[in-house]
Amino acid sequence: MSLVTRLEQGSLSQPTWSAPQKGLLLGLLATVLFSMTLPATRWSVQFFDPIAIGFGRSAIASIVAAILLRAFNVPWPSARQIRLLLLTACGVVLGFPVLSALAMKEMGAAQGGVLMGILPLLTAVFGSLLNHERNPLGFWLCSLAGALVVIAFSCRGGATSVSFGDFVLMLGILLSAIGYALGGKLSAEMPGWQVICWALVFTAPITWSGYLWFGVAPLQHSFSGWLAFIYLALVSQLFGFFLWNKGLALGGISRVSQIQLLQPFFTLLLAGVFLGEVIDLWTLMCAALVVALVYSGRRFKLNQEVKS
């Protein structure tokens, strides 16, 4: 029995649930868990150095990942797979965790949630490039329009240029999209939970060096700060991926991935509830527009796949 199967024990294992239903439920749960990443990061940067958070969450997760790989006697990946795993790690283990923590030092989680809305479409773009797919014009127009909306939102308040926090987070999102696309490609060859575990293990020397260099000790002690940090390490960086990848496998990538369109709104809600951030009409409108464009772009892509 695999680890992810064991994680599904309980209500999800009842015979009344079909595989697609389980996939949708797991995908929804994973989306909610990922939606808490920016609010948790925003909270933890009050107590930890942001770069230490970025490296530390992956460093802590790498220990659990190594234990799981050893416990389940997972075979060593091939040389080609290791190269792809290292490239994947550059996005989801090194790039996004560090850059998102730096961004949350400069901006609110709700603002970051709007920018994160473009991630699904960027992932689809890089996935298409990796698989040498030909996409319809509508897909590329939606991609361009979504990027322009995100840039316009970044220049909010009459600013004529993108702020440092916006730029850093958008760079992190770009790297994350590349990592997601590469990880998705590898998930066709090995279970998704093994992909993230190997990515964490292979980059552990880098993440632990960075974590120890920038300081393990918090800038000020706080139980809630440590709780947010542990959440980033074990949920955002590790177990959330288990649920998400299993959900895609059970419910189908095209169906379950649509749930990720809800992530910006979950992030806005969680930022308001846990951080007390005020969500203005401009933020809501931009989030809704980005989600609509991402949805439209995916529909263009799916329609082409059905016709072909």
Q: What is the mean pLDDT of residues 163-167?
A: 86
Whole-prediction pTM: 0.82
Residue 170 has pLDDT above 80, yes or no: yes
Q: Answer yes or no: is 154 within a domain.
A: no
Element (H, E) at 97: helix 96-104
Check residues 165 and 260 and name the one with the higher pLDDT. 165
Q: Answer yes or no: is 138 within a domain.
A: no
What is d(CA 90, CA 86) in angstroms, rounded to the nearest whole number?
6
pLDDT of residue 57: 95
Q: Answer yes or no: is 305 within a domain.
A: no
Residue 115 has pLDDT above 80, yes or no: yes
179-206 pLDDT, tens digit each: 888 887 888 788 889 999 999 999 999 9
- The type of residue at 172 is G
Residue 15 has pLDDT above 60, yes or no: no
Q: Answer yes or no: is 195 within a domain.
A: yes
Q: What is the mean pLDDT of residues 151-169?
A: 73
Q: Answer yes or no: is 155 within a domain.
A: no
Locate 25 and state its tokens: 């439920």
Burial of 7 (0-12, 13-18, 19+ CB in 10 A): middle
Residue numbers of the domain that contains 171: 19-133+161-277
Q: Answer yes or no: is 14 within a domain.
A: no
pLDDT of residue 12: 47
Count up the domains in the chain and report the number. 1
Q: Answer yes or no: is 288 within a domain.
A: no
Q: What is the mean pLDDT of residues 98-104?
A: 95
Q: Answer yes or no: is 67 within a domain.
A: yes
Determine what percent of the chain is predicted with pLDDT higher than 90.
36
What is d(CA 250, CA 23) in angstroms, rounded to the nearest whole number?
5
pLDDT of residue 64: 97
